Amino acid sequence: MITLGSSQNPPLVFLHGFLGSGKSWREIFQINKLSEQSRNGDINVALQDQYFCILPDLPGHGENTKLDFSTTISFDFVTDWLFHLLDEIPAPKIHLVGYSLGGRVALHFATRYPEQIHSLILESANAGIIDEAERARRLAEDSARAESMLRDGMPAFVEKWYDMPLFASLKNHPEKISAIKEAAKQNNPRWMAKVIVELSPGLQTPLWDSLSELSFPVLLIAGAKDEKYVQVMQKMAEQIPSAQKNILPEAGHNVHAEQPEVYIELLKNFLSEVVE
């Protein structure tokens, strides 16, 4: 697990997407963009100077593969894992950021442990598939993907995964997509095959009915080129009382990779408005 900043500062937790790791967030912490004086009088204050930034590897990803392989990695399991991971943090509440799979985990954590959440930031995340037939179809699709991963190997699967239309706009950033792919290929294929099935949207309990109960500040982020998630975020924004929604015009599904400077400013501005 990567941590940045002082543990005496408010905790800010980042959850990566499928095939990623805590290292997936490194670029936004390397941004040193000149900006005008902020509202609190500081100039270019980095997130790690204001917050205790925590970048874990989700179960099965990166270096987090020492779990019992027979354990079912359900959303309840992952949210409990995160709860215990945060046990040693002195602050009672966290700011929680989640991208894609990490966003689905973050939303589950926030609905299960709302007393732990100070604010929630969801990037390209979904509250779940409502239609049972569609959930079954997605589970079958992810099961087939798991089989192909084990059969053809991690490099072939990663190339096919990032060739999906969902990531089309990443191809406009060849160096970034190349680095993302190379990092993804380092994952253990047995664990990734397990994760893609057991954390499939096909097995995810829809949380749409819980959105109206979220009482803390929520920021929803999507890329305009990712039309599916623009619609999902719009629907979520309509149901979350305290939600702010930002659609970035020059980004697709992976907003923080495609537009890191804009993304980090969004986070800074949102967090500056959240009263500690």
Would you kindly state where each structural domain of the chain is located, as residue ranges?
2-130+205-273
Task: Compute the average pLDDT of residues 83-96.
Answer: 88
Q: Please compute, for residue 191, the number of CA atoms within 13 A of its CA located in the half-sphere on the CB side.
A: 21
Whether 35 shows a pLDDT value over 50: the answer reads no
Cα torsion 182, 183, 189, 194: sign = negative
Arithmetic mean of pLDDT over the chain: 92
Q: Which CATH superfamily is domain 2-130+205-273 in?
A: Alpha/Beta hydrolase fold, catalytic domain (3.40.50.1820)
Report d(CA 7, CA 21) in Å as an integer: 21
Cβ contacts of 26 within 8 Å, gap of 6 or more: 2
Model confidence, pTM? 0.94
216 and 243 Cβ atoms separated by less than 8 Å: no
Report d(CA 23, CA 25) in Å as an integer: 5
Cβ contacts of 263 within 8 Å, gap of 6 or more: 28, 123, 221, 248, 255, 256
pLDDT category at 45 given cuts 50, 70, 90 is confident
Tokens coding 98: 């989640």
> What is the pLDDT at residue 125?
97
